[in-house]
């Protein structure tokens, strides 16, 4: 199966600093990647859809200036949490799909990043 | 807007027994995909099984099978011969057939397999 690698697995940062999370598709090209946030014992909440070479599409209620998404290549998308605060502490997960049509039916997920802001 | 509902927050099953997890959904699309994902304590999302809405035959993957009732918009997951390693959160998800369409997840069911 296709592999999506997310880095780092966990990070602790001070309040007010910025943190960058990387999501890489290792053995396929991903035109579209998705960023999710998951609170403890809750479901995945889609934050934004990341499109290679264009601006990300954010879900309602997600601050685009706080959660900066860059999808500069077909294998890499990054999520930067700017001026992080304790309430941004969460588990962040990325996913990617291969190609289009029937190849796009399955989403492959990264391992997730646990962010703790102190 | 599409929604996915999982009405069982937690379930428990004994090892080797069979358990069924419920999922209902709503969408205005005629063609779509349905998924069950497993999230073990490691929190890595793992695809368990997939169903194309245009296929009437229920999908099966070894010990995992689904009961897909399109008219009722129901998509339950049956786990046979439960194993301790099946202990995890299970999420039902819906995806339209567009090239960049997103997954809509249910709230999840926490399954505990006991000895």
What pLDDT digit, counting tens, does each position of A29-41 carry?
888 899 999 998 8
Calpha distance B68→A7 (Å, rounded): 37
pLDDT at B102: 84
Single out the residue of B59, B68, B79, B99 nearest to residue B15, CA to CA.
B79
Q: Could you say which of A43, A49, A100 has the minimum Cβ distance to residue B102?
A: A49
Farthest-apart Cα atoms in chain A, separation: 44
pLDDT at B99: 55
Cβ pair B73, B19 in contact under 8 A: no
Extract the tokens encoding A103: 């190849």
pLDDT at A32: 87
pLDDT at residue A102 tops 60: no
List residues of A whose CB lies inside 8 A of any B CB: 31-32, 34, 38, 41-44, 46, 49, 51, 91, 93, 95, 97, 100-101, 104-107, 109, 111-112
Single out the residue of B102, B114, B115, B108 nearest to residue B38, CA to CA.
B108
pLDDT at B101: 72
Would an 8 Å CB–CB cutoff place B103 in contact with chain A?
Answer: yes
Q: Could you say which of B33, B42, B106 has the minimum Cβ distance to residue A43?
A: B106
More confident residue, B57 or B101: B57
């Amino acid at each position: 199966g296709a592999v999506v690698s997310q880095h780092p697995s966990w990070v602790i940062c001070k309040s007010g600093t910025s943190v960058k999370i990387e999501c890489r598709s290792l053995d396929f090209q991903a035109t579209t990647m998705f960023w999710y946030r998951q609170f403890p014992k809750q479901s995945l909440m889609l934050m934004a859809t990341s499109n290679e070479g264009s601006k990300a599409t954010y879900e309602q209620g997600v601050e685009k200036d706080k959660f900066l998404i860059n999808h500069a290549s077909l294998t890499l998308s990054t999520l930067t949490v700017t001026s992080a605060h304790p309430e941004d502490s969460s588990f962040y997960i990325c996913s990617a799909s291969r190609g289009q049509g029937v190849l796009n039916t399955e989403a492959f997920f990264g391992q997730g990043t646990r962010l703790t802001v102190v | 807007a599409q929604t996915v509902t999982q009405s069982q927050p937690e379930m428990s099953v004994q090892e080797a027994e069979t358990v069924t997890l419920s999922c209902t959904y709503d969408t205005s699309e005629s063609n779509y995909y349905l998924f069950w994902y497993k999230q073990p304590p490691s929190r890595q999302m793992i695809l368990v099984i997939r169903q194309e809405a245009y296929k009437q035959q229920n999908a099966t993957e070894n010990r995992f099978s689904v009961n897909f009732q399109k008219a009722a918009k129901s998509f339950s997951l049956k786990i046979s011969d439960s194993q301790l390693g099946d202990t995890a959160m299970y999420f039902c998800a819906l995806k339209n057939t567009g090239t960049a369409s997103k997954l809509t997840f249910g709230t999840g069911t926490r399954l505990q397999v006991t000895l």
